[in-house]
């Protein structure tokens, strides 16, 4: 069995999968009273009890962002705790990794991903042909930066489509957990350095 923790999405979620098939998923909703740090351990304990997970766990996967810095920091720290205490291999998955999964079927196309994360954070990661990855954190004072997306061919979104761009850009719903499971064989379990949370700020000095 493999344990995935998605902390990039609006509601963090645990998923257990085996042989490219999701067995169970449990969302970790946050409220003013209960933060992710309050719900992550009880949820893990429940999964462990229901599936005898600790005995059958083979690998760990956690999304690393961009998104809510607090959610990603808590999620990555929790999964690293299991990794070190149980000596279980671990891989991190960022928005760039997710788009890399899609590049082979989108050759010579400009593609991006619109990420809706916890705390109402909205971030776009995009890659144009023969260019590096770029990011835009959407805020009221920087909407003019969205003009950089006008020549995108495809924009994937993990929650809702982006309604601030041209209608001729194709937008596709992207279920993060399903695509990680589908591309499990491509994950890198050999480098824990990739597990650093990715935080995008419009203040370039903070990135």
Q: Is 84 helix (H, G, I), strand (E, B) or coil?
A: helix
Instruction: Please report the pLDDT score of residue 206 as a whole number.
Output: 46
Q: Which pairing describes strands 59-65 and 2-6: parallel, antiparallel, or unpaired?
A: parallel
Residue 149 C-alpha from the chain's centroid: 21
d(CA 123, CA 158): 11
Tokens found for residue 126: 């995009």
SS3 23: strand
pTM comes to 0.92
For position 34, what pLDDT does the model report? 83
pLDDT (0 to 100) of residue 171: 96
From CA 44, how far away is CA 34, in angstroms rounded? 16
Q: Which tokens go with 24?
A: 């169970």
d(CA 59, CA 81): 13
- What is the model's pLDDT at position 166? 73
Encode 116-181 in three state secondary structure.
ECHHHCEEEEEECCCCCEEEEECCHHHHHHHHHHCCCCEEEECCCCCCCCCCCCEEEECCHHHHHH
Q: What is the pLDDT of residue 143?
A: 85
pLDDT tens by residue, the chain, 207 residues: 999 999 999 999 999 999 889 999 999 988 877 899 999 999 999 999 999 998 999 999 999 999 998 899 999 999 999 999 999 999 999 999 999 999 999 999 999 999 999 888 999 999 999 999 999 999 888 888 889 899 999 999 999 999 887 778 999 999 999 999 999 999 999 887 778 888 886 655 444
Does the domain at 2-94+176-206 match CATH 3.30.70.1150? Answer given as no
What pLDDT, on the 0 to 100 scale, is given for residue 202? Answer: 61
């Amino acid at each position: 069995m493999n344990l995935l923790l998605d902390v990039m999405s609006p509601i963090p979620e645990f998923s257990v999968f085996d042989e490219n098939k999701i067995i169970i998923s449990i969302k970790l909703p946050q409220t003013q009273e209960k933060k992710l740090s309050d719900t992550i351990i009880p949820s893990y304990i429940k999964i462990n009890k229901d599936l005898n997970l600790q005995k059958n766990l083979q690998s760990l996967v956690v999304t690393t962002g961009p998104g809510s810095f607090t959610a990603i920091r808590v999620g990555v720290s929790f999964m690293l705790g299991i990794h070190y205490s149980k000596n279980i291999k671990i891989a991190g998955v960022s928005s760039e990794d997710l788009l890399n999964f899609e590049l082979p079927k989108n050759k010579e196309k400009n593609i991006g991903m619109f990420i809706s994360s916890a705390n109402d954070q909205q971030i776009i990661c995009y890659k144009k042909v023969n260019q590096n990855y770029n990011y835009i954190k959407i805020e009221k004072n920087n909407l003019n930066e969205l003009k950089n997306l006008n020549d995108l061919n495809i924009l994937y979104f993990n929650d809702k489509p982006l309604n601030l761009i041209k209608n001729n850009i194709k937008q596709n719903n992207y279920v993060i957990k399903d695509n990680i499971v589908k591309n499990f064989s491509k994950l890198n379990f050999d480098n824990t350095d990739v597990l650093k949370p990715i935080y995008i700020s419009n203040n370039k000095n903070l990135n």
